[in-house]
């Protein structure tokens, strides 16, 4: 199979316990506004499969999508949060996300999205350290490739990889806007869920 991922929305769950059972799952995580929803829409070649919000911190639920060929994709609540959110609310989001990542049966791969223009931020670096510590299997996806001027790209790619503590070749660069890296990511999701 190739072409867009045939993803269908299943449910929004407040926590991991409320998600439907799955054989194989890919999770998408990253700070608010990093481009998670846009990338999911690009993978599915749909305009509004996942809601794209201009305002950060709106996606507080675990959004589950089913792939026609089998398996599921979960869009996790973003870290970084709305400035209006209370400390308790933020801590609660984090707890739910951490619980998902450490207890979800069937979770095969976590895509950690990092803003290609500005990342990694301090929160991203903290998240990376936590994922490594918990031995969560992850891949780094740098988003918004189109926002980095071509003259700055080589340098930016080097800096981002270095900031994340990985080799340059370990970072998948993507643009939901221009379609960069989208085929590769579709392939990765398909292979992972097969
Ligand atoms: N230029 C550009 N903007 C993007 C891209 N992906 C997302 N955005 C913009 O970034 C903002 C946040 O995107 P969204 O998908 O809602 O992020 P989320 O909070 O991680 O789900 C929106 O204004 C998007 O239009 C991209 O690849 N290129
Ligand atoms: Mg979103």
Listed by start position, the domains of the chain span: 7-193
Q: Which ligand is nearest to the CA of 30?
A: 1
What is the distance in A from the centroid of ligand 1 to the CA of 143? 8
Average of pLDDT values for 24-37? Answer: 94
Average of pLDDT values for 83-112? Answer: 87
Residue 46 pLDDT:
94
Residue 92 pLDDT:
82
Q: Which ligand is nearest to the CA of 148?
A: 1
Q: What Cα–Cα distance (Å) separates residue 173 from each residue in 98, 123, 157, 193?
A: 25, 19, 9, 21
Residue nearest to ligand 1 atom 4, measured at CA? 144
Average of pLDDT values for 167-180? Answer: 97
**Beta bridge pairs of residue 110:** 27, 138
What is the distance in A from the centroid of ligand 2 to the CA of 3? 23
Which comes out higher in pLDDT, residue 190 or 50? 190
Query: Ligand 1 pocket by C-beta < 6 Å: which residues?
Result: 30, 32-38, 52-54, 59, 78, 143-144, 146-147, 175-177
Mean pLDDT of all residues in the chain? 92
Whether the CB-CB separation of 97 and 77 falls below 8 Å is answered with yes
The top-level CATH class assigned to 7-193 is alpha beta
Cβ atoms within 10 Å, residue 154 = 11
Residue nearest to ligand 1 atom 7, measured at CA? 35
Read off the pTM: 0.94
Interior/surface letters 75-89, b for 16+ CB within 10 angstroms, e for the rest: bbbbbbbeeeeeeee
Residue 70 pLDDT:
97
Distance of CA 164 to the CA centre of its chain: 15
Average of pLDDT values for 173-193? Answer: 98
Owner of token pair 């996790």: 76
Interior/surface letters 128-145, b for 16+ CB within 10 angstroms, e for the rest: beebeeeebebbbbbbbb
Residue 77 pLDDT:
85
Residue nearest to ligand 1 atom 5, measured at CA? 144
């Amino acid at each position: 199979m190739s072409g867009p991922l045939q993803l269908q929305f299943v449910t929004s769950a407040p926590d991991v316990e409320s998600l439907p059972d799955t054989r194989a799952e890919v999770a998408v995580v990253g700070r608010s506004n990093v481009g998670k929803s846009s990338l999911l829409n690009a993978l599915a070649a749909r305009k509004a499969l996942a809601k794209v919000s201009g305002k950060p911190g709106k996606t507080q639920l675990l959004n589950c999508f089913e792939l026609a060929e089998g398996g599921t994709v979960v869009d996790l609540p973003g870290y970084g949060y709305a400035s209006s959110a209370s400390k308790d609310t933020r801590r609660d989001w984090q707890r739910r996300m951490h619980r998902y990542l450490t207890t979800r049966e069937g979770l095969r791969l976590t895509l950690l999205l990092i803003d290609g223009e500005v990342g990694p931020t301090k929160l991203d670096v903290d998240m990376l350290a936590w994922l490594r510590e918990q031995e969560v299997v992850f891949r780094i996806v740098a988003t918004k490739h189109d926002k980095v001027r071509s003259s700055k790209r080589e340098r930016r790619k080097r800096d981002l990889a270095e900031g994340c503590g990985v080799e340059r070749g370990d970072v998948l660069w993507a643009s939901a806007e221009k379609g960069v890296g989208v085929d590769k990511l579709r392939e990765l999701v398909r292979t992972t869920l097969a």
